[in-house]
């Protein structure tokens, strides 16, 4: 069952990563103005946050399985409409709806994942799920590039649509109605249908801060790195391979025996180490101008990400009772999207120089790391 859920996780992120390289060219081919092109890219992340929150509330009411099937089925249908789009504004509206339906997927898949993890293996299982996400990040753009070049953009959407519908059927037939870990003692928390009680759990809030910090820097990197590569005349393909470097390093940490650290050590401590490493990597990116050193800095970034992703997910599994995990994961992935938006828009709005943008990101993460450290160690009692 665990490996079937891994499939759902990779499909959820594969959908997003296949479209990253093609939405801007698609909008341009439709004659969209630069503003509309940017809107077509950004509106997905905004509406995805809405989908994440809706998923969280729905999972705790009707179950993760139903929300996953609904998300897969609706997203499969939405993808078919990409083949019919004729104007830039139609693309923007479709991207908004797509973001909402796709936002149902990650929280429901990770809630199912949490229900299948065994005591003593929560960290390793979350590390393996991180490897699945990293694999999607590597395969998705490659798939869209190959299929788009050989068969056209429409076949990208049709292929992913078919894949999602197939997964919806698999989920319907093979995933049990309820998944529970045998012998688990449920944690007692405030019985409420709202979200605000989650922010009373100290360690969970720390995980949310960590989530925002790592995606904030990722937003800066995806915004600034292609511009720096262009400025240094390193070739058009260099930015993509440099960004992929962080994913490859993270996957290696997730899958090698190093993943045992996530079950041996306090996840908040590992998350703090990851935040410090990411801050260091951003400072290095600001100070280097050679391709090899940039690859090395992105490798450091990947190491920091590898420390953080399983740790943050493990905190959710450990601190939130099963009946509230949908909301907890929904908020987590909403912050995931918000961080990317905030990082890219922040440096754009401030009109920072390229190296200054990296230093800005390093400073933000370091400040947030200090905040998390004070929240964890500043009081004797920490939830």
CA-to-CA separations, 220 to 22, 224, 302, 345, in angstroms, rounded:
20, 6, 15, 8
Distance of alpha carbon 227 from alpha carbon 252, whole angstroms: 28
Q: How far apart, in whole angstroms, are the C-alpha atoms of residue 92 and residue 75?
A: 16
Looking at residue 37, its pLDDT comes to 81
Which pLDDT score, from 0 to 100, does residue 145 have? 79
DSSP H stretches of helix in 30-152: 34-62, 64-81, 88-102, 105-116, 122-151
pLDDT in tens, the chain (383 residues): 778 988 998 998 889 888 877 887 888 889 988 788 878 878 888 899 999 999 988 998 899 999 999 999 999 999 999 999 999 999 999 999 999 999 999 999 988 888 877 666 777 878 888 888 888 877 887 788 788 888 988 999 999 999 999 999 999 999 886 654 433 434 444 444 567 888 889 999 999 999 999 999 988 888 888 788 888 888 756 777 888 888 889 999 998 888 889 999 999 999 999 999 999 999 999 999 899 999 999 999 999 999 999 999 999 988 988 888 889 999 998 998 898 888 888 888 888 888 999 999 999 999 999 999 999 887 544 44
Q: Within 13 Å, how many C-alpha atoms sit on residue 331's CB side?
A: 21
Position 183 scores a pLDDT of 38
pLDDT of res. 178: 60
Measured CA to CA, the distance from residue 335 to residue 312 in angstroms comes to 12
Distance CA 2, CA 115 (A): 10
CB–CB of 303/249 below 8 Å?
yes
Residue with tokens 């400025």: 231
- Let me know: does 238 contact 225? Beta carbons within 8 Å: no
Alpha carbon separation from 359 to 189, 239, 301 (Å, rounded): 40, 19, 14
Task: Tell me which residue of 163, 109, 165, 168 sits closest to 140, measured CA to CA.
Answer: 163
> The tokens of 8 are what?
């759902």
Q: Is 34 exposed, middle or buried (0-12, 13-18, 19+ CB in 10 A)?
A: exposed
Q: How far is CA 281 from CA 100, 111, 295, 349, 365, in A?
A: 33, 31, 11, 23, 11
Domains of the chain, start order? 1-178 (1.20.1250.20), 197-383 (1.20.1250.20)
Residue 198 · residue 204 · CB < 8 Å: yes
Instruction: Say which residues have a Cβ less than 8 Å from residue 168's Cβ, sequence separation at least 6.
Output: 69, 72, 73, 76
- Residue 181 DSSP SS3: coil
> What is the Cα–Cα distance from 359 to 133, expressed in whole angstroms?
27
pLDDT at position 383 is 45
Dihedral sign, CA of 261, 199, 324, 334?
negative
What contacts 195, CB < 8 A, 6 or more positions away? 53, 56, 57, 327, 331
Rounded to two decimals, the pTM is: 0.81
3-state secondary structure of 352: coil
Map residue 118 onto helix, strand or coil: coil
């Amino acid at each position: 069952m665990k490996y079937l859920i891994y499939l759902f996780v990779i499909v959820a992120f594969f959908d997003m990563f296949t479209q990253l390289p093609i939405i801007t060219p698609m909008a341009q081919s439709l004659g969209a103005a630069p503003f509309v092109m940017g809107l077509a890219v950004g509106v997905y992340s905004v509406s995805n946050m809405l989908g994440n929150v809706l998923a969280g509330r729905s999972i705790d009411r009707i179950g993760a399985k139903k929300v996953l099937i609904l998300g897969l089925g609706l997203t499969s249908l939405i993808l078919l409409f990409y083949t019919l789009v004729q104007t830039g504004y139609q693309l923007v509206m479709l991207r908004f709806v797509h973001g909402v339906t796709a936002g149902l997927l990650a929280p429901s898949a990770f809630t199912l994942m949490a229900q299948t993890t065994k005591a003593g293996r929560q960290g390793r299982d979350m590390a393996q799920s991180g490897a699945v996400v990293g694999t999607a990040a590597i395969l998705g753009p490659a798939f869209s590039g190959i299929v788009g070049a050989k068969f056209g953009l429409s076949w990208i959407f049709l292929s992913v649509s078919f894949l999602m519908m197939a997964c919806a059927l698999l989920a319907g037939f093979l995933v049990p109605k309820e998944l529970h870990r045998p012998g688990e003692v449920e944690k007692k928390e405030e019985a409420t249908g709202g979200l605000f009680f989650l922010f009373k759990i100290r360690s969970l809030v720390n995980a949310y801060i960590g989530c925002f910090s790592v995606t904030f820097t990722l937003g800066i990197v995806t915004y600034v790195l292609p511009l720096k590569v262009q400025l240094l005349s390193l070739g058009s393909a260099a930015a993509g391979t440099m960004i992929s470097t962080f994913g490859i390093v993270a996957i290696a940490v997730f899958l090698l025996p190093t993943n045992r650290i996530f079950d041996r050590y306090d996840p908040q401590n590992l998350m703090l180490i990851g935040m410090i490493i990411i801050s260091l990597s951003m400072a290095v990116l600001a100070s280097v101008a050679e391709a090899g050193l940039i690859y090395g800095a992105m490798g450091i970034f990947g190491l920091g990400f590898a420390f953080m992703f399983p740790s943050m997910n493990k905190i959710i599994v450990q601190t939130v009772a099963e009946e509230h995990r949908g909301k907890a994961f929904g908020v987590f992935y909403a912050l995931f999207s918000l961080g990317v938006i905030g990082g890219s828009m922040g440096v754009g709005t401030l009109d920072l120089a390229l190296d200054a943008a990296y230093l800005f990101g390093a400073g933000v993460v370091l400040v947030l790391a200090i905040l998390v450290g004070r929240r964890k160690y500043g009081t004797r009692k920490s939830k």
